[in-house]
Amino acid sequence: MVKLDVIGKLVTLSEREAEELRAAAAAQAGRSSARRDLSLLLDRGLRTQTTVALSRAEARELAELLRSGGFRTDLALLQEALREALDDAPP
């Protein structure tokens, strides 16, 4: 399992969910450094089984990645946590 600290809100992902997100972010790493950073953070979470803290920019990038769709796993809880965290966080 991988725990994400999304601007103060904890979200737990299965290894399968985290790996799918990591792979998607890595596949688009050439598009932006934020996608590369996100893939590296998820990789670290998978390897170390520790909580990974996302910055506001990383949370926005993850939300954008989720909006692109095409995931086999249901990530509705993560999407809701991201929406709440980004809406609640100061700019």
Q: What's the first-to-final CA gap in the chain, in angstroms?
A: 30
Average pLDDT taken over every residue of the chain: 86
Work out the pLDDT band at 91, boundaries 50, 70, 90: low
Q: Look at 9-13, 33-37, 67-71, 87-91 and tell me which has the smallest mean pLDDT.
A: 87-91
Q: Residue 89 pLDDT > 60, yes or no?
A: no
What radius of gyration, in Å, describes the C-alpha atoms of the chain? 12
* Phi-psi map region of 15: left, alpha, beta (phi>0 left; psi -120 to 50 alpha): alpha
Q: What gap in Å lies between CA 31 and CA 52, rounded to an integer?
A: 22
Work out the pLDDT band at 84, boundaries 50, 70, 90: confident
Average pLDDT over residues 42-46: 95
Average pLDDT over residues 14-33: 89
> Do the beta carbons of residue 21 and residue 54 sit within 8 Å?
no
